[in-house]
Structure 1
């Protein structure tokens, strides 16, 4: 068996009049993340980690923000298509370890729902999806509540 590891990172700015989508679920908050798609920073980081592990470039290469078909797209669809791309190369997902960095709202109460959504899309056990939440202690753009950041590591396997 061949195993590979990939790393993903994404950031999105917070904006008024946007829904907050994170880990494939809508979270009630006064602002949402701004982007060409629904700006789900966590799913984007996971996509990049999976694509990187399979040596398939990055999310912007596969789903460019210049393509109208991805305008306001649900990032769950991007994650599903990412799975299809790595599967076509013979890989399956082993596990995901991710961290969301945000000052508000509290992310921890939403983690079980995010794990379920992601596990279902990636066709793996919920126990293979680790999501952690942290703040940046009021430092930087996250600390000033200007945006969110997410980091992800993915392990993929090929028989």
Structure 2
């Protein structure tokens, strides 16, 4: 059996914070504002994985009202999410993500993001694809106020014998 899940996240950019996307610190004059490190890509991936497994969303597992998650490294959250879905008998077929950012350019960092995310879930790199686009200057993202990410994940039951 296979199941698909969709995740989306958006955070405001603010001076004085590091910009962390896909577990990679990107040199930039602003970072994302949030309770944790505000890694929009990893948060979208967590929601996609949890959704595909029918296990709710990131806010249910790591509420922003819980002080334990203040400043949390989102890569650690992804590792925990993947362990939870694996315990329920799910394995990643593939994860496809898009980052929406006017600046900075994401292309130089995409391979490092793939590596960080694949390593924390202990999956092959070819199972993760990351794309990036701008909004051509439109809306809050286009005006440089924030960055968003969308992710889709396909899971298969670990008991499935044939690979997709």
Q: TM-score range by the shorter chain?
A: over 0.9
Q: Partner of 1:114 in structure 2? A: 113
In 2, Cα distance between the equivalents of 1:86 and 1:24? 20
CA contact (8 A) 1:24 1:75 kept: yes
Structural RMSD (CA)? 0.6
CA contact (8 A) 2:6 2:153 kept: yes
Q: Partner of 1:81 in structure 2? A: 80
CA contact (8 A) 1:47 1:82 kept: yes
Mark the runs of 5 or more structure 1 residues left unpaired by the alignment: none
Residue correspondences, number? 158
In 2, Cα distance between the equivalents of 1:125 and 1:90? 18
Q: Secondary structure at the match of 2:8?
A: strand
Mark the runs of 5 or more structure 2 residues left unpaired by the alignment: 160-164
In 2, Cα distance between the equivalents of 1:78 and 1:122? 10
Deviation at 1:83, TM superposition (A): 0.5
Deviation at 1:66, TM superposition (A): 0.2
Deviation at 1:128, TM superposition (A): 1.0
- Structure 1: which 4+ aligned runs deviate by more than 3 Å? none
CA contact (8 A) 1:38 1:74 kept: yes
In 2, Cα distance between the equivalents of 1:90 and 1:67? 28
**CA deviations over 1:79-115 (Å, ceiling 9, x no partner):** 0010111012111111110000000000001001001
Q: Secondary structure at the match of 1:52?
A: helix
In 2, Cα distance between the equivalents of 1:85 and 1:125? 18
TM-score, normalising length from structure 1?
Answer: 0.98
Q: Partner of 1:36 in structure 2? A: 35
TM-score, normalising length from structure 2?
Answer: 0.95
CA contact (8 A) 1:48 1:58 kept: yes
Deviation at 1:118, TM superposition (A): 0.7
